Chain A
Amino acid sequence: MFRCVLTAAGLVLFACSTAAYAQKQTIGAPPEASNMKLVGTNDLQARSAYQPTIHHQGDRWIAYIGHHGGTDDVPAPVNPMTGQAEPNGTSIVDVTDPARPKYLRHLPGQEGKYESGGAQMVRVCDGRALPKGDPSAVYMLRTFGSEAHEIWNVTDPASPVLITRIAGLKDTHKSWWECDTGIAFLVSGAPDWRTRRMTQVYDLSDPAHPQKIRDFGLPGQEPGSTGAVPTELHGPISTGPTGNRVYFGYGTNKGGILQIVDREKLLSGPKEPTPDNLRFPEIARMPMSAFNGAHTTFPMLDMPVAEFAEDKDGKTRDIVMIVDEAILNECGEARQMVWFADVTTETRPMMISSYTVPEGSGQFCQRGGRFGSHSSNESMAPVYYKKMAFIAFFNAGVRALDIRDPYHPKEVGYFIPAITVATDKRCIPVEGGERCKVAIQTNNVETDDRGYIYIVDRANTGLHILELTGPARAAAGLPKN
């Protein structure tokens, strides 16, 4: 009996100490992981990171990583390669050997702090894929803070050369560039539109000579309109001329909208931004709860669903994975998470499932910083496409989801990097001041064709390159490592 009491007391003590440990990350503590393993890291010069894009470039693999602006404490970190203070821009890292990433170049961005500066977004296309590109060149499309889009020749990734700038904007964000056609859906803020973010469609098949096709947005956002202004755009993803669809996500953490658009009608339809012309290419629109936004709208069309294999109809489904973005620190808003919509009957899209990290699994609301989803990998390489999705979940790190049955997505792995001395604090207002905590803020994730997973940190902790292990690796169909 006495032994039972002692055992029970020990269990309570263990549970309490585990909870206390889980609530706070400490420097020197190991990363938290399940079925994911760290392969290599780079500190990215302690710059707040947004979007990584991994490009197979000749016989090398290059990571292009967009950065937010600087922080109040360090508006322009010193680049140790030049010795100069440089506003955050784009980090270019050779990840051919993922265990030993080699930092090649920092390309400064717009001066400014947090969302107001930097060069947050980046896409890369080979010249040989673009209809009018230099076949020997590689091109990087990036945002330049809020004011411009730029195209750089990154054939030598250590020595980029600016080719084109599309400027005069009031905001920019996560654009999409079709490498096989050159058509780009640029998230811009045209000065005369009533919203900070809308779409400017460009033909960038010749990167040196951008050709504007049209402006696009939701009716009510266009110049001259009155009344309520619909939620602003976050980003589109196109399936190109073959799929003939563009999936637009509006809203970040509020009032999200998934808009399904006929790409051909968008490109060739009447271009004057009237309400009728803006409605013309729209196939369907799915409003979400006011609690959630549509940060990323990732299409996975014609997915075979094992559960439906014996059904006479509907064996395959067109799925769009929608990821919200958490905005507020320490759970100061409704939970932002991941949603799966069945858009097989395009005019009647329906939400079918959702996923969130269980808060209690790590007391994430007490850890500091944001807890909730932000983004998914956007690579459509066969290694993971329609099988596995990776979700950046801020202080809960990256989460690996088995999505082969999108009606029942299942977490099969996770990785929460350790914090370092570079990890920046996150604060909330309290009476008479503010209270700050330090925690990982995994902002974005991308994968490469080899199966490596790249996560980057908004709180300046850098780049972590991961691989799947154990059952997660088996679920993805990868050979044992």
Chain B
Amino acid sequence: MIIAAAVIALGAVAGMHADGTERGGRWREMAWPFPRDGWPAGRAFRCVAGGCDGAELYIRAKRGFCNCDTGVADDDEVDRVTDIDLISPRFAPVAPGHAVDFAAMQGRIRHYDLDMPDGTRHAAAGLALSRRCDLLVAVAQGAGEANAVQRAALVFLETEEMKQWMAATLDGR
């Protein structure tokens, strides 16, 4: 229920309808594409059909976060904690972000323009959610329009399989 409400809210934020199931796209898991860093690798997916073709989604838990009570407090926090910088160090937010409730967690989502290493420009949506002292971060990015990429990614993230995985990874399982 909360997730559905979040999707509706996010669709409204993005100026889109919330009939996401048709627009959720089909995502195929791929190898985590980033070098090892301080956080364990997460899961990565590429959209192979359904209108978000070519977009990619990266999601992982970041356990151990000092803002246990305040959570993801502002947009700067989203800039810092999402993995947007792993995709390209040259990113710029396009607008202030928005508070979100998603999968029983609170956080923020923000859109970015990315200058990719190959010279192209991509759109991205960064999502940071907190659960007590832990974070769940996700970035969806692609050559398409940011709202469409975001909406497809959120619909995918609310599937039962992904919800179970998110809960488990935040538990350290």
In contact, B173 and A229 (Cβ under 8 angstroms): no
A194: contacting residue among B76, B92, B168, B170, CB under 8 A: B76
Q: How far is the CB of B91 from chain A (nearest CB, A)?
A: 6
Check: B67 CB closer than 8 A to any chain A CB.
yes
Residues in chain A near residue B63, CB distance under 8 A: 328, 332-333
Check: B2 CB closer than 8 A to any chain A CB.
no
Q: How far is the CB of B110 from chain A (nearest CB, A)?
A: 13
A228 to B87, CA, bound (A): 10
Residues in chain A near residue B171, CB distance under 8 A: 429-431
CB-defined interface of A220-240 with B at 8 Å, one 1/0 digit per residue? 000000111100100000000
A428: contacting residue among B67, B93, B172, CB under 8 A: B172
Q: How far is the CB of A295 from chain B (nearest CB, A)?
A: 12
Check: A195 CB closer than 8 A to any chain B CB.
yes
In contact, A228 and B67 (Cβ under 8 angstroms): no
Look across to chain B and name the residue whose beta carbon is closest to the beta carbon of A430. Answer: B171
Interface size on A, residues (CB 8 A): 30
8 Å CB contacts to B: which residues of A300-326?
none
In contact, A253 and B64 (Cβ under 8 angstroms): yes
In contact, B38 and A252 (Cβ under 8 angstroms): no
B69: contacting residue among A113, A227, A252, CB under 8 A: A113
A121 to B93, CA, bound (A): 35
CB-defined interface of B54-78 with A at 8 Å, one 1/0 digit per residue? 0000000001101111100100110
Residues in chain B near residue A194, CB distance under 8 A: 76, 79-80
8 Å CB contacts to B: which residues of A427-454?
428-431
A116: contacting residue among B36, B69, B90, B91, CB under 8 A: B69
In contact, A254 and B79 (Cβ under 8 angstroms): no
Check: B161 CB closer than 8 A to any chain A CB.
no
A290: contacting residue among B37, B70, B76, B90, CB under 8 A: B37
Q: How far is the CB of B88 from chain A (nearest CB, A)?
A: 9
Check: B33 CB closer than 8 A to any chain A CB.
no
A195: contacting residue among B37, B66, B80, CB under 8 A: B80
Check: B85 CB closer than 8 A to any chain A CB.
yes
A232 to B68, CA, bound (A): 16
Q: How far is the CB of B172 from chain A (nearest CB, A)?
A: 5
With A195-B80, A333-B63 as contacts: A254 and B39 at CB distance below 8 Å: yes
Check: A291 CB closer than 8 A to any chain B CB.
yes
Overall SS of chain B's interface: loop
Check: B96 CB closer than 8 A to any chain A CB.
no
Check: B50 CB closer than 8 A to any chain A CB.
no
Check: A160 CB closer than 8 A to any chain B CB.
no
With A113-B69, A429-B172, A431-B173 as contacts: A332 and B36 at CB distance below 8 Å: no
With A227-B89, A430-B171 as contacts: A114 and B69 at CB distance below 8 Å: yes
A291 to B90, CA, bound (A): 24
B76: contacting residue among A195, A255, A289, A327, CB under 8 A: A195
Q: How far is the CB of B141 from chain A (nearest CB, A)?
A: 15
Q: How far is the CB of B29 from chain A (nearest CB, A)?
A: 23
In contact, A226 and B92 (Cβ under 8 angstroms): yes
8 Å CB contacts to B: which residues of A231-269?
232, 252-255
Check: A112 CB closer than 8 A to any chain B CB.
yes
Give the most central of B64, B70, B79, B170: most A CB within 10 Å: B64
8 Å CB contacts to A: which residues of B131-156?
none
In contact, B38 and A229 (Cβ under 8 angstroms): no
Residues in chain B near residue A227, CB distance under 8 A: 85, 89-92
A333 to B65, CA, bound (A): 12
B residues contacting A by CB (< 8 A) are 36-39, 63-64, 66-70, 73, 76-77, 79-80, 85, 89-93, 168, 170-173
Given A226-B91, A252-B66, output 4 extra A-B contacts at Cβ < 8 Å. Answer: A113-B69, A255-B37, A431-B168, A431-B173
A-B contact pairs, 17 of them (CB 8 A): A113-B68, A170-B73, A226-B90, A226-B91, A227-B85, A227-B92, A228-B91, A229-B76, A229-B85, A253-B64, A254-B38, A255-B37, A290-B37, A328-B64, A332-B63, A332-B64, A428-B172
Counting from the closest, the 8 A-B pairs by CB-CB distance are A254-B38, A228-B85, A327-B64, A290-B38, A429-B171, A116-B69, A290-B37, A229-B80
